[in-house]
Amino acid sequence: MAAAATNVNVKPLNGAEGYLRWKESMLLRLHTVGVAHVLSDEPPPPPPAGVEEDGDAAARRKWARDDAVCRGHILAALSDRIFPDYVRHRTARDAWDAVARTYDNADAASAVAQRMLYDDLALDGGSGAPAPLLERIAHAEALNAATRVTLSLSDAELAEMLCQTVLPANAAAAIRSGAATMRDVWRVARIMEAQRIRREDEALHGKCRKCGRSRYHGCNCMR
């Protein structure tokens, strides 16, 4: 288990930026070494007064060991800059919660700013061109999930927003023909993306994969 944990690379946390990736990577590491349970489970109860050893003694020793290992992993994954702020916490859960209080949602915009981001769902695909349609929808879902619960859009509201901002008019009309849901948005978007890929493939290769002849010059395979 210890050897496997070393394969989970965790970039030291140095502030709000990157907290979400750090958190998920840390959980993976802590689950790998089998100590993540101390972050959520309650420790074994202390022995009754006047009793030094009881049936839970072994469980308490294991808990103390797991808690120390978990705390050590958490502190080791903090940068030198912020390490002194959290080393004072004596248990893994206290250290974990303290880091979360500082950075959880700190790298997300405020609810109002998140709503403004919905107005620009073009997204940069890396070369200045818009990101693929499915990525834009996933981005909108992530923004909505990050918004405070009281201000987040319902499933139907998010579907309608995407119909207005991301999907072509004909696709939006097909979705609105019934009670629009995100399941409908994903279904239509995946069909559109498959059609786009097929068109690009035909334009690039221009040959039928079945017979090898040009689809535009005598190929009847797709007819």
Q: pLDDT of 141-181, one tens digit each?
A: 887 776 654 456 788 888 888 888 888 888 888 888 878 89
Q: pLDDT of 115-146, one tens digit each?
A: 545 555 544 455 556 678 888 888 888 877 76
pLDDT, averaged across the chain = 79
How far apart, in whole angstroms, are the C-alpha atoms of residue 34 and residue 37? 7
Write down the domain spans for the chain.
2-47+54-103, 111-205
Which amino acid makes up residue 154?
Answer: S
- Give the lowest-confidence range in 63-72, 81-90, 153-162, 186-195: 153-162
| Segment (H or E) for 177 | none
163 closest CA partner among 145, 184, 148, 143: 184
How far apart, in whole angstroms, are the C-alpha atoms of residue 200 and residue 21? 34
How far apart, in whole angstroms, are the C-alpha atoms of residue 159 and residue 140? 10
pLDDT given for residue 109 in this prediction:
41
pTM: 0.57
Is residue 19 very low, low, confident or very high in pLDDT (cuts 50, 70, 90)?
A: confident
The answer to whether 14 and 85 are in contact (CB under 8 A) is no
